[in-house]
Structure 1
Amino acid sequence: MKMTFDAEVCAAYIQLASEIATVDDSWPLDGFIAGIDDVIVDLNADRNVLGIEILGKYGDGPEIILAAIADGSVANALAAEGFDCPELRGNPDITIQLIN
C-alpha cells in the first residue's frame, strides 16, 4: 500500500485502489480519530473506497498517521460510517513517499 505524505501541512493520502480511478464523491470522517484533524474518504460511483486523505496536526510527522492506522483507529472510523477497508486492519505494509 502506498501513502504520500506532505510534511509541510501534515497531510497523507493512502491510495487503496489498485489503479487510478475517478473520484465520484468524498466523505468526511471528522472527529473520529485522536490526534488526527480530518479524514476524507474518496469514493467511486459504487461507493467503494479509492483512497483516504488524513490531515494531522501541523508540525507532526507521518508517525501519528501510521500509529492511527496500526492501532485500528482509521479502519474503525471507516467501519463506523459503513465503509469496509480490510487492507487497513492489522499492521499493513505501507510505503511512504515524502513530497515537498
Structure 2
Amino acid sequence: MKKVKKFYSHIHAFLCAVIVLSMSSCSVVKETAFDAIADSITDPKTGAHVFTREYDTEPYQINMGGIVKSRKAQKKQKEKDLLENYDKIQISN
C-alpha cells in the first residue's frame, strides 16, 4: 500500500511541475504568436502596419497616423502618375 501512495505522490508532484512549467511556456508561446500575428497584419490598400509599438515592453497600439499618411501619399502618387501620363492617355483615346 505504501508503494502505491508513494507512486501517486510522485505523479502528483510531477504533474504540478509540468503544469507550472507549461503555464509559463504557454504565456511565452502566446506572446510570441501574438507578436507574429500583430506584425503580419497590414493595411490592404497601402501595406502599412496596423499595429505598432515603440518598445517591446509597451502594449500594441493602432497605427492610425501611419495608415492615414500612407493612404494620402498613395493618393498623391496616383494623381501625380495620372498627370504625368495624361498625354499618353489622350493620344490613345
The bucket for the TM-score relative to the shorter chain is: under 0.3
Task: From the two aligned structures, give the one with the greater helix fraction.
Answer: 2
Give the alignment's TM-score, normalised by structure 1.
0.25
Q: Tell me: higher relative CO, structure 1 or 2? Use CA pairs within 8 A at least 6 residues apart.
A: 1
**Structure with max Cα Rg:** 2
TM-score, normalised to structure 2, is: 0.26
